[in-house]
Structure formats: structure tokens, C-alpha cells
Amino acid sequence: MNNKGDNTAVNLTFYFIFWSPQVTGYLNLLANGIDNFTHGLAVAGSFLVSTRVGLLTTAAILLHEIPHEVADFAILLRAGIHIFCCYFMSFYCGMTNKTAALYF
């Protein structure tokens, strides 16, 4: 029997590990933390250029964050995380941008 190219078991393993709602929620938290960290870098860097550029960058990021955080919240709820934990997790992920801004 030729098993070459038959990777059904591997595909199923990846499916159950990476497509389970819980893992999706935690991956989303990780990605959200990195995203917020880069926002902090962008805001801090743009304020170093000028106040006007900094305010514009901040406004753009705030507008971008509204649908972004709503979607992240929905993903966390779908992952089975309690609604209060979703609030706290979103809050702590949001703190990563302050960390980046303070680093500069």
C-alpha cells in the first residue's frame, strides 16, 4: 500500500488542534497583543515626528480599533471564554501598546 500523499491523519490532527474554538481564542489574544504593541510603536514614533502626525496616527488607530476589538471580543466569546474574562483579556492586550509607547 502506498501511503505517499495520504496525510489525512495529519490534516485531522491540525484541524482539531488549530481550529478548535479555544485555540482560536488564545491565538487571537496573542495576535491582538502583538497588534496593539505595534500600534504603540506607531503612535510613539509618529509623535516623535510631530504632534500633528502623532494625533493623526492616533485618530486613525482609534478608528481602526473599533471594529477590530468588536471582532476580537466576538472571537473570544465564541471560544467559550466568559464575558468578564473577555473584558479583562481585551484590557490587558490593550496595555501592550502602552508598553511599546513607554519603551520609546
Residues touching Zn ion: how many (CB under 5 A)?
2
Cβ distance to Zn ion smaller for residue 32 or 81:
32
Q: Using alpha carbons only, what angle is made at residue 36 by residues 30 and 39, rounded to the nearest 5 degrees? A: 145
- 68 makes contact with Zn ion (CB under 5 A): yes
Q: How far apart are CA 102 and CA 96, in angstroms?
A: 10
Q: How far apart are CA 65 and CA 69, in angstroms?
A: 6
Tell me the window of 20-28, 35-43, 49-57, 84-92 that interacts with Zn ion (CB under 5 A): 35-43
Tell me the window of 6-14, 19-27, 43-51, 62-70 that interacts with Zn ion (CB under 5 A): 62-70
Q: Which residue is nearest to Zn ion (CB)?
A: 35
- 69 makes contact with Zn ion (CB under 5 A): no
Q: At what angle do helices 21-49 and 8-18 cross, to 10 degrees?
A: 60
- 35 makes contact with Zn ion (CB under 5 A): yes
Q: Are 49 and 57 in contact (CB under 8 A)?
A: no
Q: Which three cell numbers stand for residue 73?
A: 471580543
**Shortest Å, Cβ 32 to Zn ion:** 8
Binding site for Zn ion (CB under 5 A): 35, 68
